Amino acid sequence: MTKYVWRSLLFFEITLISLICSVTAQVRFVDLDRLSLEEGLSQSSAICMLQDRQGFLWIGTEDGLNRYDGYSIKIFKADPADSGALQNAWITSLFEDHTGNLWVGTRGGLHRYDAARNKFISIPLDNTSLSVFAITEDLQHHLWVGTQQAGLFRKSASTADWRQYRFDPADPRSVSSNDIFVLYTDDIGRVWIGTRDNGLNRYDAMADNFIRYQPTTGNPYSISGLSIRSIRQYKTEIWIGTLNNGVNRLDPLTGRFNSYQPDASKPGSIAHNSIWSLFADSKGILWVGTFGNGVMQYDPAGDSFVQIQSKPSSTPRNDQVVVSILEDRSGMMWFGTIGDGLRKYLRIKDRFQFINAHPNPKRGLPDNMIWSLHEDRQSNIWISTQKGITVYNPKKEVFSQYTNPRREAWKLGETAYAMAQDSNGVIWFATFGDGLKRFDPRTQRISAFQVNKFSPGGIPTNNILALYVDHENVLWVGTYDAGLLRLEPGNRTFKVFKKKEKDSTSLQDNQVRTVFEDARGVLWVGTAQGGLHRFDRNSSTFKVYSTQSPGLKRLQNNFVSAVSEDKDGSLWVATYGGLHRMNRETETFICYSEKNGLASNQIYALIKDQRGRFWMTTSHGLSVLDPHDAVPVFRNYTSHHGLQSDEFNMGAAIRNVSGTIMAGGVSGVVIFHPDSLESKKYDVPVAITAVRVANRMLEHEPWDDKYTTLRHDQSTLAFEFASFDFSFPEQNKYAYRLEGFETEWSDADASRRTVNYTNLDPGKYVFQVRGTNSDGHWSDKTAAFRFEILPPFYKTWWFVGSSIFLIVFLAILFYRIRIRRIENQKNELARQITERTRELREKNSELERVNAIRNELLGMAVHDLRSPISAIRNLVQFHLEALKNQINDRETDMHDMERALSLSDRISSTLNDLLDISAIESGKLSINKLPENIETIIHDAFELNLRAAERKGTTLKSDIAPNLPKILVDRIRIADVLNNLISNAVKYTPKNGRIRVYAEVSGMFMHIHVEDNGQGLTQEDLSSAFKTFTRLSATPTDGETSTGLGLAIVKKIVELHGGSVWVRSEKNKGSTFSFSVSLEGHH
């Protein structure tokens, strides 16, 4: 029979039975979340479920096995061609044995999941492909397998042998049928067997046979049916679900059955005759899954049943056939259906009750927009909506409405934004635009305080936002635009406290949002834009705490919506910028915001429960904080947890005398008791769900305790993990670290469950992760994945050892070669000594030659000095004679004086060259570097050589770019360098020649060039141009003299500056002499 035909018959049977059954079971509507095809389930019928010891939820469907980690579903499909895959896709049963092995029953045989290899091993029970409908394990660890048409199989705990038990018509102690549908082991180890067509069996281990339980005519205490669909122990009794014959309760001591079947005349009877699943949860509740009326709860007090149904919605439901039930470790219930996937039941959603709008005014509110709440002395709840005020009597569950369609002054206004009751029982109402209302419940009279310009001391505004009655029965009124008002008891005049310009002791804002009196009698006032104010009753002044306050006394936001106090006397201030805790001694604040886990920084109300915890309504749900925790942790509740809406309204929250909190928002009133929302403390399982190595998924499951060996090129890994609290997995948090790489834990949330590590060094590592449940409780359990990255071959011990051996061998070889080389070197040294002796002789000859040249040049220098000195002496002698004879001629005198001056310059130049070369060669020439402008130095050098150039008609040109950086030089010495180069250019350039000086920046240096179109130099001249006492082939063009020291001096001075000199020249085509010096800041 194909699964399509089977399902068609199944739904026909559902329809038929539903028509037959007339049920009067009680119904409770709850929120049931759905997990089906849209969330990744392979098929919409959840035939069986199991949560393994790791925490994964396994779901068997008609088309594959699913593994759910709270975020995603991994599907294991059938593939008959793959020996490591499931051989049949229709999963009929799941079981985890005492060693953690997962057993999977299918319509094509039994499989065991090998997690280490991520493979399924097919277990042959006989030569045919059997349908396995049930699996269990007894206390002796024998595995029991129930099949269709082949009876029972039992695997020995100590061997791999299987034993088969079949129906024997001749043996009443054999199993009663070969079609086994359900197996169950109770708390004391009894194995119960439910057959498809012949009743219930219990295995007698002592006799190794079976005891049958079948319907007996005339015995009302026998089992009601033969087709068994489910078995479960509840307390000390065994419950048995049947097909078409209801559910049975068996007392094993007496052997008596009590049967529960639909009974239209009995309220609370079971809703359906076909019971396909039973489950007893950790809270002592028995769940009953029916074949057409969903799931039910058994009430032992009334011996009745309550039907659990999804709340009505626009989404079509197909969840009435519940074939599997499971409670996970977080206490959440799962219901597997035929055709509608899984339904997830969060018990926390039952903790919230609601008051909503209803067309019948006696059964609900006129509107869902709630602005304020108040509990009077009779415990009635006054609820202000957008369409009037309703009084709710919780004991009688009766609503009565006060409306004011005509807005008459003696009636209650349509909306009260705040309510308060004084010690006289009078209830006060704050309206916006209609003033302050006073209602006396004893007389039922209503009076109004409204603006009246003819009434001195009257209320200054009709716009009221906040009310508070202090310990002296004084009514404090917070207004929208007139500051804070005080109304004395029995008085109709108001004391007004308003903002005064440039008065720091007055209110800083006239819009008062909240008023609170602490245990010391201090009055605190919260405003919309001026922050928090502490009122001094004696001086009628205020101390302000706002965003303008200094240091830690500063609020993060000036909109103060509520104020409260903890048992230690610390003040808690709710703002639109988070929750602030005030230290009363230091008057400093600590702010808790969304960064600390608060649902929203925009807090509307702050309520302290009976245990001192603070509950906050916000724009994004409900938050709670225990101020006494060492590390304050927020727990948040939203519409996902069962709230009617995430958005509440300003100040619309109270705690009644029983400790219940009521909060109003845009969708009515939510009611809950804080103790019903206790934080879950259980240690949630955490697992590493995937490991990728070098972007490839690791083949075997990563929770193996052994080290996984990786190659050195597999040093990039990614880890994915999950915390198995399925209630609100998006709120689970994580911490992880990689031992061997880091010591500190890193935090992550549900949106970042994948961690990447790249280029890890060879070595051993352990990746660890731990997590929280959805309430933020950290688990002590840690999941780990151990792995070792092997080094490359050249870092292995054998390679290192071989390398050491090779090095020693090479060292010995090198030693021998070295000895041979030393011998060769001795011979070579003898040869070199001989060669060097010859070279020294040649150098000595060269020195003798150079010395001869030096003597010759010194002789020239002496001649150069003697000639001008003689000429000057002759000129002086001539003019002395002329003075004696008084025959002076002015023009002749001027000419002779100019000639004498020129001869003196010549003498001075020669002497300077000799002194400079002497000082340089003796190391006595000092350099004093300072930042200088190169253009200025060139200009001065031009001035010194301008007269000589003009005499020859030579053009001097400076091509210096503007804004060149300064150079770090000794100005006098660099001027000497430029003067020498320009002077030489003038001497060796023919008449009417051209000389150009230019500079350029190259890296950290400036290059200065002196270019002429003179005689140029030969290749021989270029090699010795900068040597001392060198005579070049070029000669001055106008009879000028030269010592041959100028270029040598230039080279020495530039080198003392850390620079260099060079020349580019070609005979008869001119020369360019260049040198480099450092830029300022680059020395």
| Contact between 404 and 416 (Cβ < 8 Å) | no
Ordered by start, the domain boundaries in the chain are 45-275, 686-795, 833-891, 926-1078
Residue bearing the bigger pLDDT, 847 or 172: 172
Beta-bridge partners for 828: none
pLDDT exceeds 70 at position 262:
yes
Locate tokens 């082939």: which residue?
1033
The domain defined by 45-275 carries CATH number 3.60.20.10: no
- What confidence score (pLDDT) does residue 838 get? 85
What mean pLDDT comes out for the span 383-403? Answer: 89
In angstroms, the CA 282 to CA 382 distance is 39
Residue bearing the bigger pLDDT, 642 or 18: 642
pLDDT tens sequence across 771-787: 998 888 888 889 999 99
CATH number, span 686-795: 2.60.40.10
Element (H, E) at 871: helix 797-885
- Those residues with Cβ within 8 angstroms of residue 831's Cβ, 6 or more apart along the chain or in another chain: none
- Packing angle of the helix pair 1046-1056, 971-988 (nearest 10 deg): 150
CA geometry: angle at 34 spanning 29 and 36, to 5°? Answer: 150
Residue 568 burial (CB < 10 Å; 0-12/13-18/19+)? exposed
- Window from 14-28, 847-861, 892-906, 927-941 with minimum mean pLDDT: 14-28
In angstroms, the CA 244 to CA 267 distance is 20
Each residue of 253-282: b (16+ CB within 10 Å) or e?
eeeebebbbbbeeeebbbbbbbbbbbbbbe
Of 113, 132, 129, nearest to 121 (Cα)? 113
- Those residues with Cβ within 8 angstroms of residue 924's Cβ, 6 or more apart along the chain or in another chain: none
- Those residues with Cβ within 8 angstroms of residue 884's Cβ, 6 or more apart along the chain or in another chain: none
Q: Tell me which DSSP letter residue 452 carries.
A: -
Where does the pLDDT of residue 1029 fall: very low under 50, low under 70, confident under 90, or very high at 90 and above?
Answer: low
How many angstroms from the chain centroid is the CA of residue 853? 84
Beta-bridge partners for 787: 708, 765
Of 373, 388, 485, 492, nearest to 421 (Cα)? 373
Q: Tell me which DSSP letter residue 51 carries.
A: E
The amino acid sitting at 483 is G
Rg (CA), the chain: 52
- The two beta strands, 783-789 and 708-710, are parallel
Terminus-to-terminus CA distance in the chain, angstroms? 96
What mean pLDDT comes out for the span 638-657? Answer: 92
Residue 542 φ/ψ region, left for φ over 0, alpha for ψ in the -120 to 50 degree band, beta for the rest: beta
In angstroms, the CA 546 to CA 857 distance is 93
- Window from 263-267, 440-444, 676-680, 945-949 with minimum mean pLDDT: 676-680
Cα dihedral 853, 854, 859, 862 sign: positive
- Fold match between domain 45-275 and domain 686-795: no
DSSP annotation string for 361-376: TTTSBS-S-EEEEEE-
pLDDT exceeds 60 at position 702:
no
pLDDT exceeds 60 at position 795:
yes
Residue 692 burial (CB < 10 Å; 0-12/13-18/19+)? middle
- What confidence score (pLDDT) does residue 900 get? 66
Beta-bridge partners for 267: none
Residue bearing the bigger pLDDT, 662 or 1052: 662
- Backbone dihedral angles phi then psi of residue 29, each to the nearest 5 degrees: -90, 130
Q: Tell me which DSSP letter residue 111 carries.
A: E
| Contact between 754 and 719 (Cβ < 8 Å) | yes
What mean pLDDT comes out for the span 428-438? Answer: 93
Residues in the chain: 1083
- What confidence score (pLDDT) does residue 9 get? 39
| Contact between 558 and 531 (Cβ < 8 Å) | yes
In angstroms, the CA 1050 to CA 1061 distance is 8
- What confidence score (pLDDT) does residue 202 get? 97
Q: Name the 3-class secondary structure at 124.
A: coil
In angstroms, the CA 293 to CA 273 distance is 10
- Those residues with Cβ within 8 angstroms of residue 432's Cβ, 6 or more apart along the chain or in another chain: 415, 417, 462, 463, 464, 465, 480
| Contact between 854 and 918 (Cβ < 8 Å) | no
| Contact between 956 and 985 (Cβ < 8 Å) | no
In angstroms, the CA 1008 to CA 1074 distance is 6
Residue bearing the bigger pLDDT, 718 or 846: 718
Q: Name the 3-class secondary structure at 433.
A: coil
CA 696 vs CA 717, 758, 898, 915, 990: distances in Å: 9, 14, 97, 82, 83
In angstroms, the CA 934 to CA 942 distance is 12
Percent of the chain with pLDDT strictly greater than 70 = 88
Task: Choose the CATH number for 926-1078 among 3.10.180.10, 3.30.565.10, 3.10.450.240, 3.30.70.380.
Answer: 3.30.565.10
